[in-house]
Amino acid sequence: MTELTELTAVRLVEGYRKGEFSPVDAVRAALRRAGGIQPAVNAFVRLDEEAALAQAAESAERWRRGEPAGLVDGVPVSVKDILLMRGGPTLRGSRTVSASGAWDEDAPSVARLREHGAVFLGRTTTPEFGWKGVTDSPVSGVTRNPYDLSRTSGGSSGGSAAAVALGAGPLSLGTDGGGSVRIPGSFCGIFALKPTYGRVPLYPASAFGTLAHVGPMARDAADAALMMDVISGPDTRDWSGLGPPAGSYAEGLGGGVRGLRVAYSPSLGGQVAVRPEVAAAVRRGVEGLAALGAYVEEADPDFTDPVEAFHVLWFSGAARVTQRLGPRQRELLDPGLREIVGLGERFSALDYLAAVDVRMEMGRRMGRFHDTYDVLVTPTMPITAFEAGVEVPGGSGLRRWTGWTPFTYPFNMTQQPAATVPVGVDSGGLPVGLQVVGARHADAVVLRTAHALYAAGIAGVAPPRA
């Protein structure tokens, strides 16, 4: 019999409906798995076994009556410790956040999951305020890669990616301001989607502004589509949120990719040096799309690396999120965060608006690009996971995490949907991700493209042994 921790959310719900097992069985198994991996991997800030089992028992009774609360009733879920979740503190990876207080409000995405009967296992790790592309913080220490404990899980949603990869719940909520669901999704061999900005409402608003998205991290695209059906849609607390989606993401998965216009950019026009094993795995994935009937053409988007403009926006956001802190509290910050805060404080309003101009021009160019192509496919990352506990790979000569994430942050600037799909492993057994980018509001197309890869057996990697 397949272990319950190996089942997708879709399969769990099917099993509950058929009476094959109960939410209590699934949640107990997920909690055992979470507790077992925690000492070595460090995916969780907090596990709440008592509350999770109580929620599971309530779910089991609803299923017994044939009255499930919603689409994910009884499914074990984790939440990145950036998003508010009532009943406990949201520390955001920082020693400057006090655990005292009522903590009585859910973020919109958490609230929707709760309404649909999800069972919350606990909170997953994040770097301080989600500021970098790896996961270590003054609060929780280093989160490690499930495929090699000496390597990083990526970040900033690294705890969520590790938890999903290792069977500690099939679904997790992450955030992505420059790649933060896609980077760890790629490094940990899972599916992760950064939806169109505003598709999943966010409250409180991020200090990083409209770079910050909330998205699903899951075993596969079908699970992510199910989760999107739950967490998408308006919430009055998010002034920039979108209206209701046009239809069900899960129901839209089956269309396949025949006739889809795919632009394949292996290196963004030679701007990115991609490790050969990564490039080969991504190319095989693209060839798979062509074999499924997509029209594939090698073509590059028309922009140069916007990293300087991104730094203005990102470092300014870091300065804003820490603005309230006094000198003693600032000494408690991650040294790298403290450094970029200092840089962010030096930018003027005109510097910020100039960076916004870069965003708008990129958005215009990508809009025109998608007049010709339905999706853009790139590597998610040019490398596989490197050593844990550092911001950049050793010996790379890089200064900041943005130096090794050139495929991810551009599409936060343009607010487009972008997903990572696992398409193989390198010679060391570390996962490789393929990125699918769609036009703004074309989240369903991104999910359908990714699902086609899973359905054909092109996507997916063997689970880790950690």
Helices (H), 322-434: 327-330, 335-344, 349-372, 410-413
Active-site residue (options: 80, 140, 186, 206): 80
Residue 238: which H helix or E strand, with range?
none
Using the structure block, give the residue that is written with the tokens 């079908």: 222
- Is 58 in a helix, a strand, or coil? helix
Lookup result for tokens 């690396």? 305
Element (H, E) at 112: helix 108-115
The one catalytic residue among 94, 180, 206, 265: 180
Q: Which of 237, 131, 221 is nearest to 170 (CA)?
A: 221
Residue 94 bears catalytic tag: no
Q: In one letter, which amino acid is 240?
A: S
Whether 418 and 435 have beta carbons less than 8 Å apart is answered as yes
By DSSP bridging, strand 44-47 and strand 119-124 are antiparallel
Exposed, middle or buried: residue 97 (CB in 10 Å: 0-12, 13-18, 19+)?
A: middle
Contact 447, 419 (CB under 8 A): yes
Given 153, 156, 160, 265, which residue is catalytic? Answer: 156
Residues near 334 by beta carbon (within 8 Å), at least 6 away in sequence: 127, 128, 131, 137, 138
* Residue 107 near residue 213, CB atoms below 8 Å: no
Closest CA to 459 of 425, 428, 424, 413: 424
Pair of tokens at residue 59: 């779910």
Active site residue 180: yes
Is-catalytic flag, 100? no
Active site residues: 80, 156, 180
